[in-house]
Amino acid sequence: MRWIKTAVIVLGLTAILAGCGTTTATLDGPTRISASTEYHHGEVRRVPSATGCVALTFDDGPHPIFTPLLLDILAEEDAVATFFLVGDRVQRWPEITAAIAAGGNEIGNHSWNHAAFTSLGADDIATQLSSTDAAIAAATGREPSIVRLPYDAWSARVLALIERPVIFWDVDTLDWRYHSPTRIASVVAAGARSGSIVLMHDIHSTTISAVRPAIQALKAEGYELVTVSRLLSGQPCN
Ligand code: NI
């Protein structure tokens, strides 16, 4: 499965954030910083105050084969991650969704059917989010508190409609394009800093193969693997 990436938008946002050097930034008002509250109109790429912490994130699951394999690796490595799940896949594989949560991992909302929110009206965006919340809650007993937008498709209008932290990333493994475990693990090891958010997808076998070496490289550098909400707390890991 190939996701179309909006490279121009990524570069544009990178340019915006490069100038402010903060955890969050607004597109339509003054920059706001908050560890755990008031993320309206805000997006998160990295939480520098969470020194020694790194958050691995996996999008587009659950996958019936690869997600359980990944959960085993995380447990063996004594690590947790954050999974941005697609609602119609949660509905199809609720038991895998429950296993993600049972492992101490975080679950985030990645829309109902991987829709590009920039093409949707406010009502449709609300439905995408609420139906996915409901499916995740039915499987785990808990609604997600964070959102990631499919295709990196964002706008000021879309962000303003989402009353939750919208989680981007500062380390993009491009694992959907380059199916090389060695390359993926190298990008993680070379790119991760304190408070980094690493983007991967647990729908590719090559990504799963990269996770253990990536985690071991990060641990060797002294990093602790934590969930995104743990990062957002702003508390250091060391
Ligand atoms: Ni996605």
pLDDT in tens, 122-156: 999 999 999 999 999 999 999 999 999 999 999 98
Q: Are 166 and 154 in contact (CB under 8 A)?
A: yes
Q: Global pTM?
A: 0.85
Ligand 1 center from residue 237 Cα (angstroms): 28
Ligand 1 center from residue 189 Cα (angstroms): 22
Q: What per-residue confidence (pLDDT) applies to 42?
A: 64
Q: What per-residue confidence (pLDDT) applies to 238?
A: 77
> 29 φ, ψ to 5°?
180, -170
Beta strands in 2-114 (DSSP E): 24-25, 43-44, 53-59, 82-85, 106-109
**pLDDT exceeding 90 applies to what percent of the chain?**
79
Determine which helix (DSSP H) or strand (DSSP E) holds 69, and give its type and residue range: helix 66-76
Sign of CA dihedral 221, 33, 114, 79: positive
Ligand 1 center from residue 79 Cα (angstroms): 22
Catalytic residues: 59, 201
Give residue 33's pLDDT band: very low, low, confident or very high (50, 70, 90): very low
Q: Are 63 and 233 in contact (CB under 8 A)?
A: no
Q: How many CA atoms lie less than 13 Å away from 31 in the CB half-sphere?
A: 12
Q: What per-residue confidence (pLDDT) applies to 182?
A: 97
Q: What per-residue confidence (pLDDT) applies to 125?
A: 98
Ligand 1 center from residue 191 Cα (angstroms): 21
Ligand 1 center from residue 84 Cα (angstroms): 8
Ligand 1 center from residue 170 Cα (angstroms): 16
pLDDT at 3 over 60: no
CA-based angle 165:125:122, to the nearest 5?
105
Q: What is the pLDDT of residues 157-183, one digit of tens each?
A: 999 999 899 999 999 999 999 999 999
Least confident of 12-16, 59-63, 128-132: 12-16
